[in-house]
Amino acid sequence: MSALLELVRADLRGFGGYRSARSEALRGEVWLNANESAWGNPADADGGCRRYPEPQPAALRAALAALYGCAPERLLIGRGSDEAIDLLVRALCEPGRDAVLVAPPVFGMYAVSARLQGARLLEVPLLEVPSREDAGAGATTFAPDFAAIAATALAQSVKLVFLCSPGNPTGEALAHADIEALARRLSGRALLVVDEAYGEFCETPSALALQARCDNLVVLRTLSKAHALAAARVGCAIADPALIAVLRACQAPYPVPAPCADLALAGLAPAALADAARRVAAVRAERQRLRAALAGLPAVTRVYPSQGNFLLARFADAESAFAALLEAGVVVRDQRAAPQLGDALRITVGTREQNDRVLAALAAMPVAQARARA
């Protein structure tokens, strides 16, 4: 058994999972093997939804593999990145014994999945460090404490280390050298999972390029953000084929509804991909403009550099800023409950008109109120 598979829960090694009717490679004209309805629903125009979908739609899997530059057998399609996170925790962590390590402030689903599995949750907080991207006086960004992460993981029976690149909600991108060095230190002891939900907006190349040298590196991707298909819930885990097979065995029989798979496949056609590239370019340009404009407002005390489709900003009075935006009909993400972010809001980069609405609402705040806690 490979060192990678030895990280899988002992009771799941060799586990075959449930083999659904659609898992069998059978051919025929009359399908009576899955207890499906012989008649379509009147709401279903072509009657296709009366049949169970492919567990891993072959055409979509091939399209995603081409998009990310990997072999299809290295890719598992799931219900967004969330399902991949949950599958990884369930497949690797024995309740009450194994641990998951995260670097907060970060996406909350890693901790949720750990708790649901009964895995211990360890935290190594992000460090606020001088920004290499922004040369302004006092400019900072966030970065993982890689040395502390490695030391903690190796001492505490950690099976999974989750990192987000670009970070959510912090926006920082991780350097390949840091990812590879950490993966090598964890080799044979833990998986390093790099969540690239916002990867298309990032100027740093994907960590997928490192997988040829790091078999314990898992990369998560999604069509929810740059491809504008959040409601379709299509994401994937990309990893060593042996690990992908384990995750598939732990997955529900039919994880991807056929209408969602069809929509995703259409969304990966050449014309749709060209449109996505134009949207990404527009977001990058607006991200720069919005950040500069926010930094000049009295209400704002700091705006962090970001490689995502959002900006993290600190406010002199975050409560008043949040309320002012709501009054203007603008909903942003309140980050004040997150570690180190008691005065921060996360603002998605919208259209130019939407971004101008944000700026106008914050600029209209009374100066005394904007500087209340400066």
Q: For 202-231, how does the pLDDT look when each residue is reduced to its tens digit (9 = 90+)? A: 999 999 999 999 999 999 999 999 999 999
pLDDT band at 31, cuts 50/70/90?
Answer: confident
User: Please, which pLDDT band fits residue 21 given cuts at 50, 70 and 90?
Assistant: confident
Report whether pLDDT(94) > 50.
yes
Q: Give 34 or 98, the one with higher predicted confidence.
A: 98
Distance set, CA 263 to CA 18, 53, 57, 84, 257 (Å): 26, 14, 12, 20, 10
What is the arithmetic mean of pLDDT over 346-367?
Answer: 95
Kindly state the DSSP code that residue 345 receives in the 8-state scheme. E
Confidence band of 369 (pLDDT split at 50, 70, 90): low
How far apart, in whole angstroms, are the C-alpha atoms of residue 96 and residue 101?
14
What is the distance between the terminal CA atoms of the chain, rounded to a whole angstrom?
59
Residue 23 has pLDDT above 80, yes or no: no
pLDDT at 290 over 70: yes
| Number of CB atoms found within 10 A of residue 211's CB | 20
Neighbours of 345 (CB within 10 A): 23
Question: Is residue 335 within 8 Å of 341, Cβ to Cβ?
Answer: yes
**184 has pLDDT over 90:** yes
Report residue 13's pLDDT band, with 50, 70 and 90 as the boundaries: confident
- Residue ranges with strand state E in the chain: 75-78, 99-102, 120-123, 127-130, 140-143, 158-164, 191-195, 217-222, 235-238, 300-303, 310-315, 333-334, 344-348
Q: Which of 278, 291, 285, 284 is nearest to 347 (CA)?
A: 291
Residue ranges and CATH numbers for the domains of the chain are: 5-11+55-268 (3.40.640.10), 283-370 (3.90.1150.10)
Say whether pLDDT at 304 is over 50: yes
Which of the two residues, 289 and 372, has the higher pLDDT score?
289
Question: In this predicted model, which residue has the larger pLDDT, 25 or 219?
Answer: 219
Express as a percent the part of the chain with pLDDT over 70. 96
Q: Which band of pLDDT confidence, cut at 50, 70 and 90, is reported for residue 374?
A: very low
> How confident is the model at residue 196, as a pLDDT?
98
Higher local confidence (pLDDT), 11 or 217: 217
Q: How far apart are CA 179 and CA 217, in angstroms?
A: 9
Rounded distance, CA 222 to CA 241, Å?
Answer: 19
φ, ψ for residue 219, nearest 5 deg: -120, 135
Range with the poorest average pLDDT among 27-36, 150-159, 219-228: 27-36
- Cβ atoms 286, 354 nearer than 8 A: no
CA gap 204, 127 in Å, rounded: 20
Give the mean model confidence (pLDDT) for residues 190-212.
97
Cβ neighbour number for residue 221 with a 10 Å cutoff? 28
Between CA 58 and CA 327 the distance in angstroms is 47
* Contacts (Cβ under 8 Å, ≥6 apart) of 168: 106, 107, 195, 197, 198, 308, 310
Whether 279 has a pLDDT exceeding 60, the answer reads yes
Alpha-carbon span 324 to 6, nearest angstrom = 53
Cα gap 266→128, rounded to integer Å? 41
Q: Note if the bond before 166 is cis, omega within 30 degrees.
A: yes
Under 8 Å CB-to-CB from 289, ≥6 apart: which residues? 352, 355
Rounded Cα gap, residues 173 and 214, in angstroms: 19
| Average pLDDT of the segment spanning 334-348 | 97
